[in-house]
Chain A
Amino acid sequence: MSTPTATPVSFGRRADDALADDRMRAAIARGTGLMVQRRHEAIAELANADELRDAGSSIRAAALRRLPELLERWSDNLGALGGHVHWASDADEATAIVAGIVARRGAKVIAKGKSMVSEEIHLNDVLERAGAEVVETDLGEFIQQLAGEPPSHIVAPAMHKDRFEVAELLTADRGAPVSAEITAEAAYARTRLRQAFLDAGVGITGVNFAVAAAGSICLVENEGNGRMCSSLPPTHIALMGLERIVADFDELDVMLNLLARSATGQALTVYTNIITGPRRPGEADGPEELHVVVLDGGRSALVDSDFSSALHCIRCGACLNVCPVYRQVGGHAYDSVYSGPIGAVLTPLLRPTDPAARELAEASSLCGACTEICPVRIPLHDLLLQLRHRDARADASRLRRAGFWLWSQAWSRHWVFRATVLAARAGMPLLRKIRRLPNIGWLGAWQRGRELP
């Protein structure tokens, strides 16, 4: 619990804490390294990778331009199939809609697949407060639920944990030892989660893409838990961000090809679920009710802004995997559902009034690795720079502002610049001799871990 005097902990502080966690950093370096390697191999297989990325980028941009039209068409088509579409402007509305359906259906147990939107709206907290038992059924999310932590990576929620930590969590859950072998861990989780699928009155999943032409939703996964959540319980609730729409199956084809290759290095995920309405008469399985909750959550305000390309994101996590900052500190340092470069861009955009979120634009050396790898060509490091430009006036400390102003006045005059040069050449040898300079300002920060030039 925070004390009344506590100020929000900055990214820098959280990052420093993360840097002290060698075990976590080793797991992240291993995990991201592997994912980048697989992604490179999967992209290299394509003869037309550049064209595919261009196509993906155009499809996402076009979807935003036609957003109301596509969403309406999709919603009409899904409605005609017997599905229900709910529009939620913010997290409170979205959680209230889900909680209402759960209450009406009298569900005590909820089997939940992976959904970043559900994390964004803190859905589990709301449902658990209302008395339901929510079981995360994605293995990584299940581990995170046992640990009482949010996911640390968009695609691999427990990437920061090694198999020994996982074994400890599973052992505690089981009340009997689970060995630190991956197969043993998976076997235990499978048994444990099977009961949740059978007991669940409601299944909740995310949505990767909605297909306007057919009224379908598409859900990709590798564990089969998404298929269980969406077909076994009598009610399926799917959560999606309002930007996650494509016009038709041709577009979906392009997006799935990019998503699987960029996220996990697969040509296609093991399970690619295309769900077109609830169970129809005569069908053997599928839910009686299908609800899709479409979350705005600050997205519509970005559609026509300079930052609209941030909404092109397909949540592949590739930018996290290549980000040298993420590699050092992992996802939790960002203190946001979305971490890494896309998180540093999206978080301040989706939480515009939160000064702590604004700070994330600084969580980057602007190296551009994110922009280079993004399958839909979001200029992530340019967006980070744009955010800095947008917020510099409003947010930076007065001292910093005054410092840059003074610097600009000085160095816009050549004679002052020359004077600085002479002073630096004379002063540097002296400064170097003083081993420990006072720990203030930029000089102090530089000296933390580095000798002066």
Chain B
Amino acid sequence: MMTTANKTTLSHLDWLEAEAIHILREVAGQCSNPVLLFSGGKDSLCILRLAEKAFRPGRFPFPLMHIDTGHNYKEVIEFRDQRAAELGERLIVRSVEDSMKRGTVVLKSEDESRNKHQSVTLLEAIEEFGFDCCIGGARRDEEKARAKERIMSFRDEFGQWDPKNQRPELWNLYNARSHKGENIRAFPISNWTEMDVWQYIEREKLGLPSIYFAHQRDVVMRAGSIVPVNVPLASGEVINQPKAGEEIINMQVRFRTVGDITCTAPVISDADDVTKIVLETATTTITERGATRLDDQTSDASMEQRKKEGYF
């Protein structure tokens, strides 16, 4: 075991880490049946590391859960399963495809993105297990509508976020109380930026799914974005076929965010390790979501709209 020498003040990463651990322990102390949403993405991998620091040598006082659209990169799904197994923690997977079979999710067309429908499956899972709190990896710097989000965010019985009806949050006295059927969303890394996340990954030497690093990929250019095509799923199915007339280019890219394949775009990059990504993040000129989330560009207020509907 390591022994660390005396310190007098916390560095910014130590401070953010301490705050996040405090929030995770408040969830454990205040909620009776919480769950940690874990996608295999970089933010939720940071939260798993924070949970280790918060609760080891004990087990996590909550299971992990992934809402799978069925359209996730297989590298990420494999990594998700591997990480949960290494930690020895319980992983629950609930899929949008099951909600489609139940008829609770109806796509407008076959190629409509399933991303926004995750909220339906999430609410069904919350009801199935009776979870009173979902811990997530959202950050306030990601998007305008998140800048006012609480660390403990209250959702009503329909999973709705009402920006006008949020509890005041003062000092570090978090209020995670809820009545039956209501729900709290807890965001331990609210105060982290994309840069903080990468610096933490670097410092803690966290493993990541390979698609976060520069790799060769077939893509097309569509409305100014790089769109991956012919992507194989874990099931063997191949999605995102190029449209007629689109030219397939093999490009060196990496993903800054990882989500549903139909709405996550990569960026051109040769950063093939974490140190290079930290450098690239420091010099980038495009925001994380601006560059890579195809679903946020529809309007200035598109994230706010989805949050009101129960999106995470």
Tell whether A and B belong to one assembly: no
Interface positions of B (Cβ within 8 A of A): none
Interface positions of A (Cβ within 8 A of B): none
